[in-house]
Each structure stands twice: as structure tokens, then as C-alpha cells.
Structure 1
Amino acid sequence: MTPRTGDGGVPDDPEITAARLAAVREAMAGEGIDALVLRPSPDFRFLGGGDGPFLVVTGDGASETGDPAALVPRGARRVGVDPEMRVRELFALAIEAELVPASPVLAPLRARKEPYELVAIERAALAAEGVLLQARELAWFGVTERAMADRLRMLLLESGCEEVLSARVAAGAHTARPGHRPGDRVINPGDAVLVSVCGRWDGYCAEAARVFAVAEPPDDYEAMYWVVLAARDAALAAARPGAPASAVAAAVTEVIDGSGYGRFAAPRSGRGVGLGPEEGPRLDEDAPLEPGMTFCLEPAIYVPELFGARVADVVACTGSGPVALAAGPHDLQILDR
């Protein structure tokens, strides 16, 4: 039976939590770390953190507390702290130990997903893809970016996601702005539109992004979009077990550079996803891809003051090769209303 996860993606099965803690303690010993202090974050949830406000893991225990310094062993020399720890929280620790990032301990353990984690990520990916399929049938003419983003946010919640991490719509020249936040710009015929949604399902995250055109695409837009799509396909083919993660980014670079759009390419081609919307594996590193790793491929081209195109799909690396977890259409959808 596939274990169910509880709030925040923590497994209900005590044996799984115990196995995670055992693996963490082994990694702590390898890194020479005497204790971990975690605040509410993906690392915190990975190890079963609940109400917090802190979780302290030592060689012989794991406890939630409001006073983490009291649970750090006396004489501890190195303490791993949550990468999301705030400055005031670090000062409040007031312990005589070297504070180091907890990431070297936890990131490798979180990178390879268990089957039940893959199920949750797939459900999140399918929900995001389903919203973008519904978006094709909505009326876009004369509506603002913000209003459409709000509509997509509601659709994602209605799909079953417990949280919407982002819902973004960019129209016209705004598509050339990476990370553009929806505003009062009205969507008009002749606009290119970038649409993306990212949600959390049973604690795990996934994003999908697609490109639409209102009535008709701008001049030269379709040719650029097919370059982005070709880069996505090349990245997917490269994401095989045993291949260096950097091979995925290299595949994107080769396609976009070869098209002449290289100077307009987005600086990254993807990122790992899981309990957080951005985690390992890093696609700019040479560490080998392994079965169970999940990442969001997101090649993009942004031509300043003109237009941009971005496609995002969540992919799982399996023993037999890469698998897109939500195989929705990638055609340049022409919106007719």
C-alpha cells in the first residue's frame, strides 16, 4: 500500500519517519554535525515537523520546541541550521558552536523521491496542467492580467490543491519580463500571453506554464516559440539516469544558441521540485541524475520590449528514462475570445 502523507507532506507511517531520521543521523555523522535546528520549511516538514516553532535533531532524539538552544547537546561543535532561518532566529540561538547550513545533510536525502512522494507531485502537476487546459476555454479579450490570474488561482484550488504558490499571467511586451507579476494591463487581440500556475498537493509542489496567442500571434512569435519547445524536448531527452544534471541545461543551450536566440535565453533551464518549489537537483551541476529525482524543465526566451515564451513541465527521472508527469498539449493555442 502506498503511504499517505499528512499535512505538509509528512508521511503518516511512523516507520518512514523513523527511516528518514536514521538516514539524517548517518549523514550528520558524515558531515561532523552534532545537531540540526530547523524552522518551518521543506526540511522541517520532511522530518515530521508540525506546530514547531523549531525542530531539533540530535544523535538520539528529534523534538519540537520553542527553545532550540536548550536541546542542542552541551559541547556541540557544529550545528546545522535551516537555510530558511531568519537572522533574528540565528542570533537567538546563542550557542557556542559553529553554525553551518543543514542543506548538505538534507538536500541529498530529499532529492530522490519515494513512490508515494512521486504520486503527490504527479497529482500537483496534473492539477496545474488541468487548469491550463481549462484556461484555453476562458474569455480573455478585454480582461486584465490580474483578473485572469485570480481566475486561474480559483481553478487551481477547485482542482484539489491545498495551496496556490503562484498564478501568473503576462500579456504583450510583459511576456518579455521574467517573473512579471500580473497587473492591470488589458489583454487584447494580437497579444502573446504567458500563463503559469504552481500548486501544492498533499505537501508537494508542481508548476506548469504554457503560451497562448489572442486571435493571432505577433509577427515572428511562432518561430521563436518553436525554438523554446524544441529546447524543452531536447532537455527531456537528456534527463536520463546516470547523465550529469548539467547535460539537461546543455541541451537547452545548444538548441537556443543554434537558433540565434542565445543572448535572449533565460539564465536557467530548470530546477528541482518536491516539498519546495525550488530544490535539488540543480541543473547547473555535474552530479548524476538518479531515479526518483523530480525537476521542472523551464526553457525560455525573452526578447526585451517585444515578447517572450516559456514552457514549464515537471519531469521524473525513472530507471527507464525521463517521464513528464503531466503530458498536456504544447501547441501554440490561439484564443478566439
Structure 2
Amino acid sequence: MTGSTRALFTADDYRARMERAAHAAADAGLAGLLVAPGPDLVWLTGYTPTAITERLTLLVLAPGRDPALVVPALEAPDAEAAPGAPALTLRDWTDGTDPYAVTADILAADAADSRYGISDNTWALHLLALQTTLPGTSYAALTEALPMLRAVKDAAELELMAAAAAAADAAFEEIRGLPFAGRRESEVGADLARLLREHGHEQVDFTIVGSGPNGANPHHEMGDRLIERGDMVVLDFGGLKDGYGSDTTRTVHVGEPTDEERRVHDVVRAAQEAGFCAVRPGAACQDVDRAAREVITDAGYGPYFIHRTGHGIGVTTHEPPYMIEGEEQPLVPGMCFSVEPGVYLPGRFGVRIEDIVTVTRDGRRRLNATTREMVIVD
């Protein structure tokens, strides 16, 4: 997160998040949470170490005790400047001492035979050392134990999500006016990355440009293929603006499309609309997938829709919840996720249309506003 982003949230905001996380851990039968540098630590404290190294940095949360941040002494000044620092007890350690003993000291009263949630991106080096220092303890990945921890956004977060989506929309409106034919996919991708940054993104996570047959690969890495007239081109791009994610996909056509290309695009557009309309409080995540998939299956393209319909988004561009068959998690106002069905015809072309959607008290709202009709480019 950038400094400007951190200023958008106060120490009280971070204190409330840490309290909420500690209580959620208790409700899940955990003794506490251990959070290493990464998106969870940023969301809970506003702190990002200047460099991720082998030195242990670990947030320790447990119900009924003050949050504590174990941090290398040489990085303590940075940690003290984090916006959530007033809500934390800092426990620094110096090279040559044992940081795991510091952590064990914080947990000592309840550690024996306890189970903790631990952030997914914690290094194995640290987890194994904790298990050695605290024999009898066990650990569950946060995504498994508390998958909905960051899923419900508050009003301030929703404002940032909407601003990130608007910035991505602005990038699309500009890219559609640039030439495609005769340029390499990588050149168009570089333009997309540049436009995202010009519209306020501090981080570009992906710029997928899949032209012609490459569009039939949902995660095609843009390459040196020259885009030709007659190509369908899948544009999927996003990143972080003020610490919150954007992710949108539009499929454009270079010159006039064939009847079949229009038909497939229309099917995907109808599926995307059906998935969007299925969003409402109390519906299951899988209902969104089912609604979009039914349209594509009924049109005869079911075998060519080869991925889930959506994923959550927030301080990372992919996070729970997931819009997929078997996910019965109810939708809750404040959740944000993609709705992005697609059809991929191997060796020929692909079509995907994606918006970020948020659940409201009485339904749903799109955060992306660019047209979902087929766009013709030069």
C-alpha cells in the first residue's frame, strides 16, 4: 500500500479489524491468528515491511489480549509509523536472538495443544520453527479457516473499489481508440499497463491480450503475435489503485466480425447478465455460476466454458469468495467479486466479459460501467 492509501484509514479502523479477526478466530475454534507480511497484514495493520526477508515479522492476535507485532529491531521505526501501530504492542528482536521465543512468550499461557490460524503466505521456515518452539500446536491456513475474513467491505473500502473499477474503465475507453491491427499483443499490453498507471494504479497485476486463437486460452500470456484484421481480442487487465483491486475483461473485434463471432459474443454477454442478475443477499455463490453457465450450456457451448464464473477481489485481485459449483457460502452485502463467463473455441477464438460486482442490501451493483456490447477496433 502506498502512503496515501494508508492515510485513508485510521488507527481505530485497524483496531476494529484486528478485534473482528480475533473474535472470528475464536468463533472458528482457533486460539488466535498469526499473520506474516502480505495482504492480510496490510489489511489488518496498514503495515508493509520495506523488504520481505528471512527475518520474522508476525502479527499475533488472540481474543482478550492486545494485538502484538513481532518485528526485527532494525525495522521497528517503520512499523511504528504504520497507521495501525497505535493499536499494537510492538515486540522487537535483534539479530542473534530467537524471534520464535518472543512469539512463544506472547502465546505461552494458551499455546500448549492449541490450534492457530496462520496466513497463507507464511514462509515454511517460520512455520516449522514455530512448531519446534511450540510443540503440540497445530495450524490452519487462513483461507481455509477464515475464508470470509476480508470478504465484506465497509463503505470506505467500497468507495476505493469503485474508484479502482472506474480507473480500469477509463483505461479501456482509451485503449479501444488505439490501433490494434499490425501491432503485437505485447505492445497493446504495454499500452494497457501504461494507461492503468496513468489513471492512478500503483500496481499492475496482469494485462492479458489474447488475439485470434490465443484468445481461446483464458490465461494466455501476451506475446509477439501480430494482431490481424478479423481477430477477436480478449483484453483482461487489472491491479491495485490506492491498495484496492480492479479487474475487468472486454472482448473487442478488429474490423467487422462474422455472424458466428457475433453469436458467441451475444451468448457470453447474456450469460454475464444472467450471472449478474443472480446476485442478491442470501443467494449462494454457486447460484451465480449456475445462472451464467446455464445460458452458455443452453446455447450449445457448455464444454467451452472451462473456468469458474468469478472470484472475490479486495486488497488482492483474487481472493474468496469464489463463484463456482459447490460453493454454498451465502452472499452478504459488501462482498465484491467478478462475474466473468467465457467461451473458448480451441484454435479459433475466445470471448470473455467481466465486471466487478458488489452485493447491496436489496440486490447488486456493477462497479464497471463500460459497454458490454461488441466493440469494433481498428
TM-score, length basis structure 2: 0.83
Distance in 2 separating the partners of 1:10 and 1:318: 26
1:103 partnered with 2:143: yes
Which of these residues, 10, 26, 32, is aligned with residue 29 of structure 1?
26
Distance in 1 separating the partners of 2:369 and 2:196: 17
Distance in 1 separating the partners of 2:332 and 2:319: 15
What secondary structure is seen at the aligned counterpart in 2 of 1:193?
strand
How has the CA–CA distance of structure 1 residues 244 and 69 changed in structure 2, closer, same or farther, with 3 Å as cutoff?
Answer: farther
How has the CA–CA distance of structure 1 residues 11 and 300 changed in structure 2, closer, same or farther, with 3 Å as cutoff?
Answer: same
CA apart distance, 1:49? 4.8
CA apart distance, 1:79? 2.0
Deviations 1:142-170 (A, max 9, x none): 11001110111011000011111111111
Partner in structure 1 of residue 58 of structure 2: 54
CA apart distance, 1:202? 1.4
CA apart distance, 1:178? 1.5
Identity %: 34
Match of 1:65, as an amino acid? V
Unmatched 5+ stretches in structure 2: 50-56, 73-98
How has the CA–CA distance of structure 1 residues 68 and 137 changed in structure 2, closer, same or farther, with 3 Å as cutoff?
Answer: farther
Which of these residues, 184, 189, 199, is aligned with residue 239 of structure 2?
199
Deviations 1:207-261 (A, max 9, x none): 1110111112256111011100000000110001111111100101110110000
Q: How does 1:185-224 map to 2 (within 5 A)?
A: 185-218=225-258, 220-224=260-264
Contact 2:41 2:48 in 1 (8 A): no
Contact 2:22 2:33 in 1 (8 A): no
Which of these residues, 173, 182, 187, is aligned with residue 133 of structure 1?
173
Q: How does 1:1-337 map to 2 (within 5 A)?
A: 12-52=9-49, 53-59=57-63, 60=65, 61-66=67-72, 67-68=99-100, 70-72=102-104, 73-74=107-108, 75-76=110-111, 77-93=114-130, 94=132, 95-96=134-135, 97-103=137-143, 106-218=146-258, 220-284=260-324, 285-336=327-378
Deviations 1:103-155 (A, max 9, x none): 35643231110000001111111111111111110011211001110111011
**More deviation, 292-301/84-93:** 84-93
Distance in 2 separating the partners of 1:131 and 1:279: 23
What secondary structure is seen at the aligned counterpart in 2 of 1:308?
strand
Distance in 2 separating the partners of 1:7 and 1:106: 29
Between structure 1 and structure 2, the one with the greater Rg is 2
Unmatched 5+ stretches in structure 1: none
What secondary structure is seen at the aligned counterpart in 2 of 1:291?
coil
- Larger RCO of the pair (alpha carbons < 8 Å, separation 6+): 1
RMSD of equivalent CA atoms: 2.0
